[in-house]
Amino acid sequence: MLLALTLHGCYLMQAAGGQLEVARSSQPIEQALAGAELDARTRGQLELVTQARAFATGRLGLPDGRSFREYADLGRPYPLWNVVATPEFSLQPRLSCFPITGCVAYRGYFHEADAIAAARRLRRQGDDVSVGGVPTYSTLGHLRDPVFSTMLAWPESRLVSTMFHEMAHEQLYVRGDSAFNEAYATVIAQEGLRQWLLERRASQQLDAVAAASARERDFSALLLRTRERLATLYRSDLPAGSMRVAKQRLFGQLKFDYSQLRAGWGGFAGYDAWFARTLNNAHLAAVATYDDCVPGLERELAAAGSIEAFERRARELSRLSMDERRAAVCEPG
């Protein structure tokens, strides 16, 4: 810990302070439900959280740890903001390495002003930077991760799948491999949500989730094409000024391609805010952390035939080297 504080002192101090704030703001869900001050919507959502947690541990085999037993209202839109940075002519995020999690492609800040200040410092160094709010996170079972008040405004499918995603991190986490970890949790969440909705006979929600998944695949494919074009550009011998112009042209093409894709979605505008910004490498790197290994792990789930067999296969993959794991499930094919 002393070594970590020496290397990342200010950052770790804000993280410790933020986590303490979360702990102080949390109370057991049973205690919150026993109070008289909750409105009907909040009460119903907390009851849903309790049911979804029981389903996750009982039916999906996810760990019955300390997550989502408590409720926290921090009075802000997000508990955490992530900062992702890349060099100007690279799609590889700058890594931050820590004793427990290993190396990750972002830094998390509990207050938006701290995240914005960190982003400014990185931009002054010439990096591409993105700042994004994080609705919840996992401490891998080391602390009591609550359900945050802002999550309760979500529809059932998003709330439940997010819980399954974060609980999956407690079941399997490969130190230093964010892409595999996020993809594994995403696939567990998708399959868990499907089983949850089937049990509740929520056919309309199943149809909506299937449509959302199709749009997500379209979105990911669009970004992958742009990343491939940018990677080709960055490997070229163009002078920096010419490369900078070509880079901006490719990001402009990305926005145009999105407008064409969106036209076929029947008016769905859920990605508009993402594309409304001035995009850069860091935005693509942040999405890549969640998307790159998902198709390969979806294939593994289909081959396994059950969530239990898939979990065993994922553990086998976790014991490979990172290069072997990436070749097995994180490459197109």
Structure confidence at residue 332 (pLDDT):
59
Structure tokens at 102: 């290993």
Q: What Å distances lie between residue 34 and 29, 46, 290, CA to CA?
A: 9, 11, 37
Amino acid 241: pLDDT: 97
Q: Are 181 and 104 in contact (CB under 8 A)?
A: no
pLDDT of residue 333: 47
**CA 330, CA 27: separation in Å to the nearest integer?**
39
Report the predicted TM-score, pTM, of the whole model to 2 decimal places. Answer: 0.88
Q: Which helix (H) or strand (E) holds 28?
A: strand 26-28
How far does Cα 224 stand from its chain's mean position?
17
Residues 6+ apart with CB under 8 A from 121: none
10-residue mean pLDDT profile of the chain (333 residues): values are 54 90 96 90 96 97 96 95 97 84 86 96 97 93 94 95 97 92 96 96 91 93 94 96 98 97 93 96 86 91 96 97 93 59
Q: Tokens in use for 140? A: 């891998």
Write the single-letter amino acid at 288.
A
Specify burial of residue 241 (Cβ count, 10 A radius: 0-12, 13-18, 19+). exposed
Q: Which residues of 263-282 are buried (b: 16+ CB within 10 A; e: fewer)?
A: eeeeeeeebeeebeeebbbb
* pLDDT value for 7: 46
